[in-house]
A and B are shown apart, each in its own frame.
Chain A
Amino acid sequence: MDKMVPYPSGAIVPERDVEKTPILETHHLGIDFGGLTAVDEFSITVGRTEISGLIGPNGAGKTTVFNLLTNVYQPTRGTIMLDGKPTAGKTTAQVNRMGIARTFQNIRLFSNMSVLDNVKVGLHNSVKEGFFASVTHSLGYGKAEKKANERALRLLDFFSMADMANADAGSLPYGAQRRLEIVRALATNPGIILLDEPAAGMNPSETAELMENIRRIRDTFNIAVMLIEHDMSLVMNICEGICVLDHGKIIAKGTPDEIKSNPAVIEAYLGKKKEADGNAQG
């Protein structure tokens, strides 16, 4: 792992990213739901190839942050800069095209479509096929489809899923569905991918494989990965920067080691967690 070094702004990123524009920056981001503040003063900086983690107790507002970053919710306050460009006023589809892709906590696949078609939907904006090509199956339709099939299969192969290409997405086992969601997100050719609890429901060997895959994603595609996760060993193992959220506010930011020893975090999160684990084991 690279050393974490500060930007001029003070935010820390991996040393290899410090010369480049951060892929994602938020400034004082906040959202209210009917007078209730769900997220407030959320400011982070993510380096171009950084693996970062967003952790916090249940209900801390982590998924809400993902929804803000992808413009599913419009923020009440603050700004989001994606690859140096503001995303205010854009639709979810437009910010995806600007370079942000995500997975969902409760899996959202196109379950009536095949695995291959799910990935091809992800490739949507890179497939050169207009309406008339679609309707007539000519005017470049064949070439576009062939290219899309090849790319989709290559992506599936990256996660050893090529042999499932023709299965219905809804019929896949749970772990494979989670992987397919990641493949679909990667197909949109993002600069940063947000993973919402990617290890949920996985056994230790699957989790180990996932960790390996997350590193491979970063190294192969040269993109940033940001994940929400409750599995602390996973987070501490692969994340370079961690942000801890509690009651919608950031209570700590830093490297895994800093987070582990941060008294506020131990108080709000790890402390409780350890106690709970202790109880479970005892």
Chain B
Amino acid sequence: MSIASKYKALSKYARTNIKTYGLVIIAFAIMFPLQSTGTINNSISGQLVPICTYIVLAISLNLTVGILGELSLGHAGFMSVGAFSGVIAAAAFRDSVASDPLRLLIVIIIGGIFAGIAGLLIGIPVLRLRGDYLAIVTLAFGEIIKNIINCLYVGIDSKGLHFSMKDTASLGMTNGKIVLNGPQGAVGITKIATFTAGFILILITLFIVLNMIYSKTGRAITAIRDNRIAAESVGISVTKYKLTAFITSAALAGMAGALYAMNFSTVAPKKFDFNTSILILVFVVLGGMGNIMGSIIATTVLYMLPELLREFADYRMLIYAIVLILVMLATNSTKAKLITESVKFKIKGVFVRKNKDDSDKGEVTDNG
């Protein structure tokens, strides 16, 4: 059997896996030497960790929006919880864990755990609602998280961590270090995030999400999306599986948020606002609902688009907006659908005729 026919014989699941992991590994194999030898310019190499985090965010949001089918407008909230709990953890483990990669691992895990807890607390009330109502409540939670962190002051001294909702003075430290400074957010972060860490986090995310899709848990989640009432009628607990998807999605977003924060020296809470949630949602929608590889490609292209449009300076966000509208119209309008269908049909027609000729020939030889 040739490699091509072997590939064809694989199940849809195996083919999706090979394509998705392959894409990520090849991209890393190309970018890593370029980045470490300094061949690519700084503006692009500085974007590598953010792109990795946004890919993880898009994949995790796709779990909620594409696979579970519930519109969430507050994904940046979970990113925020992960980022700031990660920042605090990084400060707390600064002296006790000397190795940067190990500390980064701890930071990411703690970010994931706290965001997962936030996902649980938010998911229980939110997932009872439907449609627009659910969307607006996720938006509300995202804004609440942003507002609360905006008022949060955290410091660390020899006695440990200090928290306050008022100001830095009320932390009651004599010669400690401020970790979180209200609206200014996290200050004085030691940058320990690396491109390799981002790559590994993407692989872990893919491992969790792709495995989940092709499992009992994933089938239950997809069943709820396709037909909630039928899913209930075959004994699937809707709340349990909606929460499973939501918490997993939140925890992954938290891990991405922690990595993101570790890539900058300061991070402000207002970075994780409604617009960031929308940005991630745009990646998911343009990449295709439930399509994990699509999320990866759309994130990379759309994240780099403003960079590539840099020469248009002031016009770049305007162009971005126009591209967004045009892509949505091209992929969703009734007229555009008719056009693409007819083109597809014509192309298919050509191929089918060709294949048919081939198979006819094959049959003749077999018989002979």
Contact partners of A127 in chain B: CB under 8 A: 216
Q: Give B230's nearest chain A residue, CB to CB.
A: A108
CB contacts between A and B, total, < 8 Å? 100
Q: Answer whether residue A96 sits at the interface, using C-beta atoms and an 8 A cutoff.
A: yes
Using known A-B contacts A113-B226, A135-B212, A136-B211, determine if residue A121 contacts B233 with beta carbons closer than 8 Å.
no
Measured between beta carbons, the chain A residues less than 8 angstroms from B208 are 135
B236 at the interface (CB under 8 A from A): yes
Can you list 12 A-B pairs with a CB-CB distance of less than 8 A?
A: A72-B233, A91-B232, A92-B233, A101-B233, A109-B227, A109-B230, A110-B231, A121-B231, A124-B219, A136-B211, A141-B215, A188-B234
Query: By the criterion CB–CB under 8 Å, are B235 and A97 in contact?
Result: yes
Beyond A121-B231, A134-B215, 15 additional pairs, beta carbon < 8 A: A72-B233, A93-B236, A94-B235, A97-B235, A111-B226, A111-B227, A112-B226, A121-B220, A124-B216, A124-B235, A129-B216, A134-B212, A135-B217, A136-B211, A185-B233
Q: B236's contact among A124, A131, A134, A145, by CB below 8 Å, is which?
A: A124
| Dominant secondary structure at the B interface | helix
**Min C-beta distance of A131 to chain B, whole Å:** 6
A window 101-134: CB within 8 A of B: 101-102, 104, 108-113, 117, 120-122, 124-125, 127, 129, 131, 133-134
Q: How large is the interface on A (under 10, 10 to 19, 20 to 34, 35 or more residues)?
A: 35 or more
Closest to A95 in B: B235
Q: Determine the residue in chain A with the shortest Cβ distance to B240.
A: A93
What count of chain B residues pass the 8 Å CB interface test? 26
- Report B-chain residues with C-beta under 8 Å of the C-beta of A144: 216
Residues of chain B from 237 to 255 with CB closer than 8 A to chain A in the complex: 237-238, 244, 248
B219–A120 CB distance below 8 A: yes
Q: Tell me whether B182 is interfacial, beta carbon within 8 Å.
A: no
> How far is A188 from B227 in the complex, measured between Cα atoms in Å?
17
B286 surroundings in chain A (CB, below 8 A): none
Using a CB–CB cutoff of 8 Å, the interface residues on chain A facing chain B are 70, 72, 91-94, 96-97, 101-102, 104, 108-113, 117, 120-122, 124-125, 127, 129, 131, 133-137, 141, 144-145, 148, 184-185, 187-188
Residues of chain B contacted by A131 (CB below 8 angstroms) = 217, 244
CA distance A91 to B233 in the complex (A): 9
Flag if A121 contacts B211 (CB, 8 Å): no
Q: Are A104 and B230 in contact (CB under 8 A)?
A: yes
A190: shortest Cβ distance to chain B, in Å? 9
- The 0/1 profile, CB within 8 Å of A marked 1, for residues 151-183 of chain B is 000000000000000000000000000000000
Q: Which residues of B contact A121 (CB under 8 A)?
A: 219-220, 223, 231, 234, 236
Q: Is B218 an interface residue (CB 8 A)?
A: yes
**Which A-B residue pairs are the 5 nearest by beta carbons?**
A134-B215, A96-B235, A134-B217, A108-B230, A110-B226
Residue of B215, B223, B232, B235 most packed against chain A (CB within 10 A): B235
Residue from B208, B227, B234 with most neighbouring chain A CB atoms (10 Å) = B234
Indicate if the CB atoms of A92 and B232 lie closer than 8 Å.
Answer: yes
- Which residues on B sit within 8 Å (CB–CB) of A145? 215-216
Closest-CB distance, A49 to chain B (whole angstroms) = 22
Does the CB pair B222–A113 fall under 8 Å? yes
